[in-house]
Amino acid sequence: MIQDGSLSGERFRPRFIDLFCGAGLLSHAFKSVGLRPALAIDLDKKAIQSYRNNVAKCAEVADVRAVRTDISADVIVAGPPCQGFSTLGRRDPQDVRNELGLSVLEWTSALNPKIVVIENVPGFLQSHWFDEISQGLKFQGYETQVFVLDAIDYGAAQKRGRAFTIGSRVGRVDMPTPRKSRPRTFKDVVLNRPIKADDPMHVWPTPSALAMERFQAIPERGGKRDLILNRPDLCPQSWHGLIGEATDVWGRIDADEPSNTVRCSFLNPSKGRYIHPFENRVLSLREGARLQGIPDSWVLAGEPTPIARQIGNGVPIPLGRAIAKEVMKALTREHMAETSYSAAA
Ligand SMILES: C[S@@+](CC[C@H](N)C(=O)[O-])C[C@H]1O[C@@H](n2cnc3c(N)ncnc32)[C@H](O)[C@@H]1O
């Protein structure tokens, strides 16, 4: 067998469609293990521009609810919006975005891919939408599996739990093996790899005078609690009763640890532990991108807030790649069996 999984030397390059593609982090992961993007769709024009600039030209602004039948693919990947299921969001079962995931079933029914991968937050698994989707996949003849994985176990310098619901017509897709080495840290992916001074994404919001005073009052690894204790005069009355509560907002990142989940709002210090370990500012867009495993060659389209959304919405690339490798293995196994069968016939 030739190393790329072919018998003939012709490279085996299955095609995939990415529904809800965003800026294309999950697509990049699949492309990096040898799959070819055939179509990627998202409603967000800037995310599509980013995808076209950095991943492939096949991305289109479109609504996933309009199923296409003029295309074929071996794999469908989909990362429907997760706000309705996220413990960080409002977790609203009535959120209309929750039902968007059901469109994936219409695509699988129309296009009959060999494998489908649906990525979401772990909270999705407790929803009736998950029950409907997994029942629907079984009904369509897919063997289904669910993996709940943390990005820190697969090479990202970020704690981020994600649920992957996988349907396969080509046998089991194995769970990716977690790395044995220690998790990567902020220092590993940001401080030890200096960012070019002219990097257009090494930008962050200029803090207001009040925000700057607050940053100065927060020590290394500290957070809102230190702020309330050190400078009560900078805090609204409503915070004073919260000293005992563990809270990560207005928190400095610990340089020797992986970061917390990089959310779409990581440019706002009141939304999480997003303050630089030593500097008096939040993360830059590039630093947020590094925590997601995005290559420095990528420049994302739009203003800073929409760019932060494209970054925070994505699947950490090392985690996506770990899943993509297993999907590629299952496809290659089936391809080899098919090829040897036709060779023998
Ligand atoms: C969680 S993000 C996907 C991130 C992507 N998988 C990645 O790794 O970069 C969800 C995306 O769904 C898109 N979206 C929401 N509703 C949509 C719809 N009806 N049709 C197409 N895209 C939609 C949003 O614009 C957002 O980019």
CATH of the domain at 207: 3.90.120.10
With cut-offs at 50, 70 and 90, classify the pLDDT of residue 84.
low
Q: Are residues 96 and 134 in the same domain?
A: yes
Residue 124 included in any domain: yes
Does a structural domain hold residue 193? yes
* Ligand 1, atom nearest to 18 Cα: 6
Q: Is the pLDDT of residue 91 over 60?
A: no
Say how many Å lie between the CA of residue 68 and the centre of ligand 1: 17
In a domain, 253, yes or no: yes
**Encoded tokens for 45:** 């024009």
pLDDT value at residue 239: 86
Same domain, yes or no, for 115 and 166?
A: yes
- For residue 138, pLDDT beyond 80: yes
Is the same domain home to 151 and 192?
no
Handedness of CA 89, 154, 312, 127 (dihedral sign): negative
Quote the pLDDT of residue 287. Answer: 98
Residue 52 has a pLDDT of 98
| Same domain (yes/no): 86, 27 | yes
> Do 32 and 52 sit in the same domain of this protein?
yes
Q: Which residues line ligand 1 (CB under 6 A)?
A: 20-26, 41-44, 47, 63-65, 79, 81-82, 100, 313-315
User: Is residue 4 included in any domain, yes or no?
Assistant: no
Average pLDDT rounded to a whole number, residues 99-110? 94
How far from 25 is each of 81, 130, 156, 166, 320, CA to CA, in Å? Answer: 14, 23, 13, 18, 8
Q: In this predicted structure, what is the pLDDT of residue 342?
A: 73
324 and 307, same structural domain?
Answer: no
> Residue 86 belongs to what domain range?
15-177+317-344
Least Cα distance to 293 among 259, 252, 253 occurs for 259
Q: Is residue 147 included in any domain, yes or no?
A: yes
Strand order in the sheet with 75-78: 59-61, 36-42, 15-19, 75-78, 115-120, 161-168, 143-150
Q: What is the pLDDT of residue 206?
A: 97
Please state the separation of Cα 339 from the chain's center in Å.
34
Q: Note the pTM of the prediction, 2 decimals.
A: 0.94
Among 110, 304, 104, 272, residue whose Cα is nearest residue 203 = 304
The mean pLDDT of 293-311, rounded to a whole number, is: 98
Q: Does 165 lie in the same domain as 81?
A: yes
Q: What local confidence, expressed as pLDDT, does residue 148 receive?
A: 98
Predicted local confidence at residue 2, as pLDDT = 40
* 84, 93 Cβ separation under 8 angstroms: yes
Q: pLDDT at residue 181 above 90?
A: yes
The answer to whether position 133 is within a domain reads yes
For the chain, what is the domain count? 2
Give the least confident one: 93-102, 202-211, 321-330.
93-102
Which tokens belong to 63?
Answer: 């609504």
Atom of ligand 1 nearest to the CA of 103: 19
Strand-strand pairing, 161-168 and 143-150: antiparallel
pLDDT tens sequence across 303-330: 999 999 999 999 999 999 999 999 999 9
328/220 same-domain check: no
Helix (H) or strand (E) holding 324: helix 317-344
CA 287–ligand 1 middle distance (angstroms): 22
Same domain, yes or no, for 282 and 340?
Answer: no
Q: Let me know: does 45 contact 75? Beta carbons within 8 Å.
A: no
Find, among 270, 301, 304, 258, the residue nearest to 285 by Cα: 304
Helices marked H in 192-234 — which ranges?
209-217, 224-230
How sure is the predictor about 5, in pLDDT bands with cuts at 50, 70 and 90? Answer: very low
Which of 25-29, 95-99, 239-243, 245-249 has the weakest average pLDDT?
95-99
Do 148 and 196 belong together in one domain? Answer: no
Q: Do 155 and 28 share a domain, yes or no?
A: yes
Higher pLDDT, 88 or 23: 23
Euclidean distance between CA atoms 112 and 130, whole angstroms: 20
Max Cα-Cα span within the chain = 82
Q: What's the pLDDT score for residue 99?
A: 81
CA distance 233 to 242: 15
Ligand 1 pocket, mutate which of 119, 158, 313, 319 (most atoms under 8 A from CB): 313
Question: What would the pLDDT profile of 244-265 be if each residue is shown by its tens digit?
Answer: 665 789 999 999 999 999 999 9
Residue 8 lies in a domain: no
With respect to residue 5, please indicate whether it lies within any of the assigned structural domains. Answer: no
Q: What is the pLDDT of residue 160?
A: 97
Are 29 and 173 in a shared domain? Answer: yes
Decide if 58 is catalytic.
no
Distance 326 CA to ligand 1 centre (A): 23
Which numbered atom of ligand 1 lies nearest the CA of 41?
A: 21
Q: Provide, rounded to the nearest whole percent, the portion of the chain with pLDDT above 70.
A: 91
Residue 84's CATH number? 3.40.50.150
Region of 42 (left: φ > 0; alpha: ψ -120 to 50; beta: rest) is: beta
Q: pLDDT tens, 41-79?
A: 999 999 999 999 999 999 999 999 999 999 999 999 999
